[in-house]
Chains A and B, each alone.
Chain A
Amino acid sequence: MARTYVQATINGVATDFLCEPRQSLLEVLRDELGLTGTKEGCNNGNCGACSVLLNGRLVNACCVLGVEIDGAEVTTIEGIGNPDRLHPLQQAFLEEAALQCGVCTPGFIVSAKALLDKEPHPDEQRVRYWLAGNLCRCTGYDKIVRAVLKAADDMEPARQ
């Protein structure tokens, strides 16, 4: 099958790859580029485990084709914080025990980041609404919502 050459900026790094048009961005990230932090839970837009930022907007990588990102900027969980300098959301998820199995966690963090980038002070209801496209089966969301609200607070001084 003919493969298409695609160039994109992924987590700030100029990246190129070959992919078939039928391969989703999720497949490309995981199988071609080895960025396995983005997870597959449903492969049809319903669970948010594959959340990434495409040109700054939150999308489900399973509902984007790899060929579509030519020239675009993509941010995945691997591009958010690192073990030495965690993003405040990552820190808050740890402190608030907002993960159990952790498979939904990258998606929630990417999704919550998109929210806080846009709206630094969401209230509980707003957080729940924004995160409704991300399913978690382990936590009942309580600690996830608290973690996002806490991160929003923690990010306050940094922003000023």
Chain B
Amino acid sequence: MIDRARVTAQPVALLGPNPTLRMPVEAFDYVAPRSLAEAYAHLGNGRTSLLLAGGTDVIVQLREGRKRCDQLIDLKHIPELMRFGFAPDGTLEVGAAAPLAALYEDAEVLRRVPALVDAASIIGGTAIQSRASLGGNLCNASPAADSSAALMVLGARLLIGSASGTRELPVEELFAGPGVNTLQPSELLVQVRIPPQPPRSGAFYLRFIPRNEMDIAVASAGARLELNATGDRIEGARIALGAVGPTPLMAKAAAEALAGEVPGEEAFARAGELAAGVASPITDMRGSVAQRKRLASVLTVRALRGALQRAREAR
């Protein structure tokens, strides 16, 4: 009975580093494939693999014994995974391992998809952002991951690849539970695809943290609003919440209730309440159930305000 990892009668913290479970980092091999095909081959070689993008989750998890592997597959030498840019149809295609800083420093990305920058620019500090990727943030499947809710309201789709081909899936279908994603061991995330946003729409993401930086979201919300041609009615909305459930959540009822409404405080407040209704948070060192539910509502309203402003600017 010395194995600390086995002493787990406690509720596991909602997400992120749980430094109290410590096992030594076991030795592993490191491989750096130069192509997707090579990466798939490594994934299929029968050994236990972990993928390494920026490493800001996985290196710490290995060190703290929360994950283990025989081989760590570095994705950063695969050109497709490091590139990002707009396709001719206006889709922003982001290589899964491209560092966040490169992404949010890009003027086009900031202009055309500011809600993505809302999220990408608050993940960790400057040093973390030099390495951390969207792919890592999503695949790590923390319910509090900042890019998730933002990408969900943006309607992002994921290009998943494996030796047997590729498939696409809406980002919200990636998450299976805290720290668990729906990818097969043979698969990896190749690209995050953010479709061109509807006209007269705006999206916004924000989170609540006790400090002003270097914290994991206690709760977070993303919202997208589409206005009608005259700008006085809401045509459609998307709302997503983070850190208030085992996965990031779409707040469907809240979003639907906004359709046809006059954009403004009254409608937003109602949406906020409905959003809080889908929240099923836990109490941990980052926040309590009641606090998180309340925050879900407050942050939804704030996200909607931000989205409205951007939608108006877009008109």
Contacts and interface: CB of A to CB of B under 8 A. Distances in A.
Complex contact flag A–B (Cβ < 8 Å) = yes
Nearest to B105: A118
B125 interface: yes
Contact of A111 (B76, B124, B127): B127
A2 B124 CA distance: 33
A2 B74 CA distance: 18
B30 A4 contact: yes
A45 B131 CA distance: 11
A111 B48 CA distance: 36
A153 B52 CA distance: 40
Given A4-B30, A44-B64, A59 B130 contact: yes
A133 B132 CA distance: 14
Interface residues of A, number: 33
Interface in B62-80: 62-64, 72, 74, 76
A88 B60 CA distance: 34
Contacts of B198: none
B29 interface: yes
Contacts of A63: 54-56, 59-60, 127-128, 131
Interface string A13-30: 000000011101000000
Contact of A45 (B62, B74, B128, B213): B128
Given A65-B55, A111-B126, A44 B60 contact: yes
A62 B131 CA distance: 12
A67 interface: yes
B27 A20 contact: yes
A115 B130 CA distance: 12
A158 interface: no
B74 A133 contact: no
Given A21-B27, A130-B126, A133-B213, A64 B62 contact: no
A54 B130 contact: yes
Given A21-B72, A45-B56, A64-B55, A51 B127 contact: yes
Nearest to A4: B30
B19 interface: yes
A130 B59 CA distance: 23
A86 B65 CA distance: 41
B206 to A, nearest CB: 16
A46 interface: yes
Nearest to A60: B127
A111 B124 CA distance: 14
B101 A44 contact: no
A103 interface: no
B156 to A, nearest CB: 25
A67 B77 CA distance: 13
Contacts of B72: 21, 65
Given A22-B62, A133-B124, 16 more contacts: A21-B29, A21-B30, A22-B26, A44-B63, A44-B64, A46-B214, A51-B127, A57-B99, A58-B130, A60-B128, A62-B59, A65-B30, A65-B72, A111-B126, A129-B213, A133-B128
11 contacts: A21-B28, A21-B72, A45-B60, A46-B214, A58-B130, A63-B54, A65-B52, A65-B55, A68-B76, A132-B126, A134-B125
